[in-house]
Chains A and B, each alone.
Chain A
Amino acid sequence: MNIDHEEIFKVENVKKIFNEGEQTQVNAVSDVSFKIKKGEFVAIVGPSGSGKSTLLNLISGLDTPTAGRIFLAGNDLTTLSGNELSDFRRDHIGFIFQAYNLIPVLSVEENIEFVMQLQGISKEVRREKVQSILSDVGLTGMEKRKPSQLSGGQQQRVAVARAIVTRPEIVLADEPTANLDSKTAVALVELMKELNSKYQTTFIFSTHDNTIMERAKRLITLKDGRIESDTIF
C-alpha cells in the first residue's frame, strides 16, 4: 500500500457488477480510481443511474466491490470483516443521509452522542462535545427535543452534528439537501463548508444540487459507472 501522508482516501480500479452472469447484469461502477486528500470538499455528480450511490456505498464499506481496492486512513476496506467494518465506520466515517434518519426515539442530544456511546466515551465528555457541536450547527438549547419536534433543516443539522461530532476522517453524504428548500439547503451547505474548514474534515457528497456543486472544491462527474471528469477548483 502506498498512500501519501495527506492522502486520506484511495480508490483503485473499483468495479461493481450487480447480477453478475445473469441476463440482468448491471455494471454499476466500472474501473473507477481516484484519490482524495484530507480536508477536501468533494461532490460526486452525475445523472440518475450513473453510479453515484453505488460508489458511495462502496467507499463507505456498506457494500463490497466486485473488483478493486479501497483504502481509507491506511486500511484496505475490502479485506475487513463485517464487524471490523462496523467498527471502522464508527471510528472513521460520518454519515449524512438524504432523509436525515435520526433515531426518532432519541432526543437531539442522544442522537448526536450515539456514535460516541458506541465508542465508549464517558458521559461527561459526550455532553461537553454535544454542547460544542450544537453551538457549531446553531441548535443550542434544542438538545432535549425529539426529531419530530424539529423542522427538516434542523433535523439535517442534527444529522451533520452527529456525523462530525467524533471528528471522523471523512463524512459521506448522499443527496443531503434533496429534502430541503433552497434557502435551507444553502445554509446547510455553508455550515458543512464551515465545519470542513474548521476541523479539516473531508466531505464527499453525491448530489444533483447546484448549491453543492457551486460550493464544492472538487467535482467528480460520473457517467455510466465511469469517471467522466474530475475537476479541482
Chain B
Amino acid sequence: MLLFFKLGFRNLFRNTRRSLIAAIAIGIGLASLILADGFWVGMLDNMIINVTDTFLGHGQIHQKDFQKSVSVENTISNLENVIKKLNGQENIVAYSSRVITMSLISSAEDSANVLLYGIDPKDEFKISKVEKRIIEGGSLEKDGDILIGHKQKKRLGVRLGDRIVVTMAQAHTGELVQELFRLKGVFSLGSDQMDEGVVFIKKSKAQSLLGLEGKVHEIAFRFKELSEVDNSVEFFQSLNSEQNIAESWKDLAPGVVSTIDMSTVSISILSTILLALVSLGILNTLFMSLYERLFEFGVLRSLGTRSRSLLLMILSEAAALSLLSMFFGIIIAIVIGGFWAKYGIDYAGVEFAEITFSDKIYFVFSVKQFVLYPILIFVFTLLVGLYPGIHATRITLADALKKSL
C-alpha cells in the first residue's frame, strides 16, 4: 500500500515543470473560489451596512398600521413605555424617533410629493448617515431649516438659502397647513428613492405643524453589533403589543434579504463552475500523464501489480497534485485576498440591486473558505482521478506492452 502512495507522490515530480504548471493552474482555480467567496461576503456585508447604517437602523418600531397607510394619526402607542424599554436594553447603543408624513414641497420652479421626516438631529445622526452625507450646506439647526436630496434639488431648481414651501395635512382634522422653509443642506444617500423622495426638517417643527406634540411615527434603533439582531428575538417580541410592531432590518428591507439569498445561489453556481473547470484541469493533467505511461502501467501489471494497487497509485498521484495545488492556491488567495481585504476595491457609486455602494468593498475571509474549498478541491481531485485511474486498470496488457512483451 505504502509503496503505491510513494510511487504516486514521486511520479508527480517526474515532469516537474508540467506538474508545477498544472498545480499552479489548479491553485489559481482554488484561489479564485476563495477570492470570489471573499468578495461576495464583503459585498453583502457592504450592502447590509449600507442599508442599515444609512438610514434604516438595525430595527424599527411603528404603530401596526402605519407602514401600510403612512397615516399621520397612526403614531406609536405607549411611547414612554417603549422608550423605557429601549433605554433598559444594554445592547441598544442609539435610537432616534421620527415624525413622518406625505407632503408637497414647492419651489418657484417646480413642486414634488415627498416623504417628510421630522428628526432630532442630535439623536438621528447617531443612527443614520444623513449628516455625514450632506454634500452641500449644513445640518438642521433652526425650525425653518430643511434638508433635501441632490436629485430633488435639481428638480426644484433651488440653491442653498432658497425658499421651499411645504404643504401637509394635519392629524385628526385633515386640514392642510403650509410652512415656508429655507434650504439648509443637500444630501446624497446613494439611493434614488431617498435622494429624490425624502426631505428632513426638525422633529419639533413637524410635530407642531401636524398637531402631534409628543408623538412620533417611527423609532429606529441600533445594536452594538449588527449580528445581535438575530439573537434579540425576545427583545423584539417585548416591544410588540396590540398597537405597536417592532421589526428587524430583515423585515424592513426584504429586497436586500432576497438579494443576499440570490447571491448565495450565485456564489454556489460560480463555485460549481470553477470547480468544474479545476476538475477538467486535473483530468487533463492526469490523462496526459497516463497516456504517456501506458507502457509503464503495462510493466507494473506484468510484474504482478493488481489493478486496485494501480488505481491507488494514480489516486495518490492525483492527491499529491491536489495537495501541491492547495498550497499554491492558498498562498495566492492570502496574498491577493489579503491586499483587497486591507485596501478594498472602490465600488463607490456602483449600483447593485437598487443599492448604490458608497464605500469600498473589503474582502471578508474566514477559516471556512480556507478549509472548505481546499477540501472540496481535494475530494474533487480524487473523484476526477478515479476516471483515468479506472481507465488505466482496464488497459489490455498485450496492447500496453506492444513495444516489447
- Chain A residues with CB under 8 Å of chain B are 53-54, 56-57, 60, 62-63, 82-83, 86-87, 89-91, 95, 97-99, 101, 103-106, 114-115, 117-119, 162, 172, 174-175
Contacts and interface: CB of A to CB of B under 8 A. Distances in A.
27 contacts: A54-B398, A57-B405, A62-B401, A63-B397, A82-B307, A83-B307, A86-B306, A86-B307, A89-B302, A89-B303, A90-B303, A90-B304, A91-B304, A95-B302, A101-B295, A101-B296, A101-B299, A101-B404, A103-B299, A103-B300, A105-B11, A105-B13, A105-B14, A118-B3, A118-B305, A162-B303, A174-B404
A199 to B, nearest CB: 19
B229 interface: no
Contacts of A119: 304
Nearest to B13: A105
A175 B404 contact: yes
B301 interface: yes
A8 B360 CA distance: 82
Interface of B: 3, 7, 10-11, 13-14, 295-296, 299-307, 309, 396-398, 401, 403-405
A103 B7 CA distance: 9
A95 B397 CA distance: 13
Contacts, number: 80
B176 to A, nearest CB: 91
Given A83-B306, A91-B304, A62 B397 contact: yes
Contacts of B11: 105
A118 B302 CA distance: 12
A189 B122 CA distance: 102
B126 to A, nearest CB: 68
B404 A62 contact: no
Q: Which 4 A-B pairs have the closest CB atoms?
A: A90-B304, A105-B10, A63-B398, A98-B404
A63 B403 CA distance: 14
Contact of B405 (A83, A95, A118): A95
B283 to A, nearest CB: 22
A90 B307 CA distance: 13
B295 A86 contact: no
A56 B405 contact: yes
A62 to B, nearest CB: 4
A86 B301 contact: yes
Contacts of B305: 86, 90, 118
A99 B404 contact: yes
Contacts of A87: 304, 306
A227 B51 CA distance: 91
Contact of A98 (B14, B301, B304, B403): B403
Nearest to B1: A117
Contacts of A91: 304
Nearest to B393: A82
Given A86-B305, A104-B14, A105-B11, 20 more contacts: A56-B405, A57-B397, A62-B302, A62-B397, A62-B401, A82-B307, A83-B307, A86-B301, A90-B303, A98-B404, A99-B404, A101-B296, A101-B404, A103-B300, A106-B7, A114-B3, A115-B304, A118-B304, A119-B304, A162-B303
A97 B299 contact: yes
A117 B3 contact: yes
Contacts of B398: 54, 57, 62-63
